[in-house]
Amino acid sequence: IFFRCLLPTMNIFSTKKPKHVGEGMMSGLKNIGKGVGVGAAALVGAPIVGAKQGGAKGFVKGLGVGIVGGTVAVGAGVVTGVTQVAKGVAATPTAINHERNGQVWDPYKHDWVQYKLEDEAHDVLQVSDEEFLKKLIEEREAAKKQAISEQEKKQWEQMDALKDAVQAMKTEDHKDAPASGTATDPSAYGVKEAELYDLLGVKPNATPNEIKKGYYKRAQVLHPDKNPGNEQAKAQFQAVGEAYQILSDEQLRANYDKHGRAGVDAAPKMDSAALFAMIFGSEKFKQYTGDLQITDQMMQEEKFPEPLVAFRQTKREVQCAVDLAAKLQSFVEGHEDEWTHKVMEEAKELSEAAFGATLLHAIAYIYVEQAQLRLGLKDGGKMFRSMHVSGHNMMMKYQALQAGLRMATMAQQMQAGQKEGEGKLTPEQQAELAGLMVEALWQVTVIDIEDTLRHVCWRVCEDLGISKEDRVKRTKGLLALGMIFEKASAEKAKGGVDEFKQKMVGKVPEAEQPKDEQK
């Protein structure tokens, strides 16, 4: 999950077409800076690695490698940097003509477009995943017939995977819903109890992925946001969350299978609403963030074809853009006081939801960032604001990678300790590892939310389906919305992750037995 989110943005030097000379200069300076940074890292790091592997000789060899690698990196940065500046100069006359013709620059496609949100919503939101794949297959089969060389024919090797995905969707649509509430005979599966499996609507031999899907389906139906004031649904939602906490943990699940409820009495009971929000995103925030990518990845039986993943993400962004534009419409129409009052009330409610302040703060940051970028506010105008955005992106991806590496390193150390005969993990070790997992999961979630909302804000603020005056008003409304969200979440935002980590206390060792059986 970490690298799937990070790899698309880890190309060192940008070679994409710049909008104009200003963007070309900025891209060029970034490339030169990256080249110098990578070169310095190679010059310092290679001798250290060489010394660890080969002593003094290794140090000398590493120094040579570092000098060569550093020189190449700096040279590549300078060459690509100068090239980007030249591209920007060449693109400037074209940019002026496109702006005169009423087109806008799409920073994600790196091209000029006549973008209208209403048109894209009409083209995208009514198309199901199955319809999209069928259309894609038809287009690729038609292109395959026209292919001449063997090399061109190899481009369509994904055809079988696409057809399998369509068939899988048909199978999924005809599956019976999980039989929650149906009692399972535990003796038929060699377990002591099956109540927790029944709560999730799965059998005791279910795979980890089936358990995740069962939890997601049941939790969606019972979520308090969908059942306000229903205490029975709230209690069932908590019970389903506790069942998932036990059955999603390999060690606790083994204890439950062997000893039943008595074997997991000491397991932590975390708030189910916070757990659901952490993994899948809060229902109340769906209009702002859509379904998180990590939700799709966790719910997949097999990896979706890349075209379908891209389509689902586009659909998510368009729906969020439509919802955001509707949210800002009252502000655009001039009803600012009434709009502000309603938004402040909503922000207060969102910040009080489980994990709400933390999610709200992440949303607020992007709204303010993107509005200020377009309005040219703070930090010396648009150019410096763009550089600030790029720096923030790099920092977030570095933090996510760092969190993932810390988690992986600790897990390896614990496994090594177990192999050396130190026994099972202590509750303290499990708590520490769980805390790192929460931190890493949140970092990846933030990257997903921020990248998605930047695309959403572009659609909302660059929509040529409305007048230029209304686009400016929308952008100002976006800034106001972000600042209200920021104020409502400021005090509790950081505490959300820390509080959740504190709840990840140690778990029951596999060998532990309930007291009644020990007697």
AA letter at 336: E
Q: Categorize the per-residue pLDDT at 510 as very low, low, confident or very high, splitting at 50, 70 and 90.
A: very low
Q: Give the range with max mean pLDDT: 63-77, 429-443, 493-507.
A: 63-77
Q: Categorize the per-residue pLDDT at 298 as very low, low, confident or very high, splitting at 50, 70 and 90.
A: low
| Tokens linked to 472 | 């400016």
Helices 159-173 and 306-332 meet at what angle, rounded to 10?
A: 60
AA letter at 512: E
Burial (CB count within 10 angstroms: exposed 0-12, middle 13-18, buried 19+), residue 156: middle
Question: Per-residue pLDDT averaged across 140-150, rounded?
Answer: 62
Asked if 88 contacts 22 with a C-beta cutoff of 8 angstroms, the reply is yes
List, for residues 371-391, the tens digit of each pLDDT value: 998 887 554 455 555 556 666
Q: List for the chain the helix, strand, coil content (%; round to 5).
A: 75, 0, 25
- Taking phi over 0 as left and psi of -120 to 50 as alpha, with beta for the rest, 507 belongs to beta
Q: Categorize the per-residue pLDDT at 10 as very low, low, confident or very high, splitting at 50, 70 and 90.
A: very low
pLDDT of amino acid 163: 59
List, for residues 329-372, the tens digit of each pLDDT value: 999 999 999 999 999 999 999 988 767 888 899 999 999 999 99
- Show me where the domains of the chain are located: 8-114, 305-503
